[in-house]
Amino acid sequence: MSETKNIGFEVKAPTKLCEDPNCPFHGSLRVRGKVLTGKVVSVSSSKLAVILRESYKYNSKYMRYFKRRAKLHAHLPPCVELKVGDIATVAECKPIAKTVSFVVVEKRSGTTATILEMAV
């Protein structure tokens, strides 16, 4: 497979090619549903990335906002290169494993300054 296919929404396609069947750009995996952004907390050698998402929730009793954190596991295709601390965009797909129902589709940046962009 030498060509990169359109996955249905605006993301930068990776420049590397891969032979992974679970890659949305070069394999047969289809993405649908939610598109989320978060910080990469861990990357394992078994094609798995753990993404940390932070959000703010309002407590009406105390009239304050407080932080909520959620981790999600995402499949990491070989054509997308991530390291700990990067900001990544993930898209929902069919369940690949027991806890993996998302796939990494884009590396947004490597700085933590863009975390403010995620909260908006």
Does residue 91 lie within any of the structural domains?
yes
**What share of residues in the chain are helix, strand, coil (percent, to 5)?**
5, 45, 50
Does residue 106 lie within any of the structural domains?
yes
Residue-level pLDDT at 75: 95
Residue-level pLDDT at 1: 46
Does residue 13 lie within any of the structural domains?
no
Question: How many domains in the chain?
Answer: 1
Does residue 38 lie within any of the structural domains?
yes
> Residue 2 contacts by C-beta under 8 Å, 6 or more apart in sequence?
17
The residue segments making up the domain with residue 78 are 31-119
Residue-level pLDDT at 11: 84
Backbone angles phi, psi at 50, to 5 degrees: -105, 125
Contact (CB, 8 A) for 58 and 65: yes
Does residue 72 lie within any of the structural domains?
yes
Contact (CB, 8 A) for 75 and 95: no
Residue segments in the chain with a per-residue pLDDT below the cut of 50: 1, 113-116, 120
Residue-level pLDDT at 3: 76
Please report which residue ranges of the chain form alpha helices under DSSP H.
115-119
Query: How many beta carbons lie within 10 A of that of residue 54, not counting itself?
Result: 13
Does residue 19 lie within any of the structural domains?
no
CATH number at residue 64: 2.40.50.1000
Does residue 15 lie within any of the structural domains?
no
Residue-level pLDDT at 117: 53
Residue-level pLDDT at 61: 96
Number of residues that this document lists for the chain: 120
Does residue 20 lie within any of the structural domains?
no
Query: How many beta carbons lie within 10 A of that of residue 59, not counting itself?
Result: 9
